[in-house]
């Protein structure tokens, strides 16, 4: 029996898909590793902040100082964000189990959800506005430095 051989284009496609899969898997594992380490630190030091928040701040600091290049975590972060809805399915199932709670206090829960969503939206808008302003200032500074270098 002879081995099945794929045409070169199919082989290249399979290699590219395998490479993407491995990149996403490794980057997602690295992000999970940052979370595990941050959670361990938060528990050991009895910090009042969750490990996920500490991990997010640590990753942000590493990205800003150049310790981690954005391309090293982009594919894994994109995959996690794209499939984030799957992480909330257990919460939806739990909500179905507590129908009585929703009938009695549903308006309060809805108010908290809507209020929390609005606060997150405002905070994200503020952060994006500040980041865009910072990016504009940095681009202007780079342009001025380049102009002075040419002169």
pLDDT of residue 51: 87
Q: Which of 87, 110, 130 is the last residue of a domain?
A: 87
Domain that holds residue 105: 89-151
Whether the per-residue pLDDT at 20 is higher than 80: the answer is yes
Asked if residue 73 and residue 97 are part of one domain, the reply reads: no
- CA-to-CA distance for 24 and 81, rounded, in angstroms? 12
Asked if residue 96 and residue 138 are part of one domain, the reply reads: yes
Asked if residue 136 and residue 104 are part of one domain, the reply reads: yes
Asked if residue 105 and residue 71 are part of one domain, the reply reads: no
The mean pLDDT value for 55-72 works out to 88
* Predicted structure pTM score: 0.53
pLDDT of residue 16: 85
Query: How many CA atoms lie within 13 Å of 90's alpha carbon, on the beta-carbon side?
Result: 2
pLDDT band for 122, please (50, 70, 90 cuts). Answer: very high
Domain count, the chain: 2
Q: Which of 87, 111, 127 is the last residue of a domain?
A: 87
Q: Which of 38, 57, 87 is the last residue of a domain?
A: 87
Asked if residue 81 and residue 93 are part of one domain, the reply reads: no
Asked if residue 79 and residue 9 are part of one domain, the reply reads: yes
Asked if residue 38 and residue 109 are part of one domain, the reply reads: no
- CA-to-CA distance for 80 and 64, rounded, in angstroms? 21
Find tokens 């045409």 and name the residue.
7
Asked if 62 contacts 38 with a C-beta cutoff of 8 angstroms, the reply is: no
Asked if residue 48 and residue 34 are part of one domain, the reply reads: yes
- CA-to-CA distance for 128 and 133, rounded, in angstroms? 8
Structure-token pair, residue 39: 């959670």
Whether the per-residue pLDDT at 123 is higher than 60: the answer is yes
Q: Which residues, 6+ apart, have CB-to-CB distance to 23 below 8 Å?
A: 75, 76
Asked if residue 43 and residue 82 are part of one domain, the reply reads: yes
């Amino acid at each position: 029996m002879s081995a099945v051989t794929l045409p070169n284009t199919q082989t290249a496609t399979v290699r590219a898909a395998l490479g993407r899969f491995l990149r996403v898997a490794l980057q997602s594992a690295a992000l999970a590793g940052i979370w595990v380490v941050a959670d361990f630190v938060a528990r050991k030091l009895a910090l009042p902040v969750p490990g996920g928040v500490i991990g997010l701040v640590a990753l942000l600091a590493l990205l800003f100082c150049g310790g981690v290049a954005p391309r090293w975590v982009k594919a894994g972060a994109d995959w996690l964000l794209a499939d984030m809805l799957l992480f909330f399915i257990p919460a939806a199932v739990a909500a179905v189990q507590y129908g009585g709670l929703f009938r009695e206090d549903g308006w309060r829960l809805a108010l908290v959800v809507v209020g929390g969503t609005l606060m997150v939206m405002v905070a994200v808008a503020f952060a994006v506005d500040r980041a865009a302003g910072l990016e504009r200032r940095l681009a202007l500074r780079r342009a001025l430095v380049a102009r002075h270098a040419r002169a």
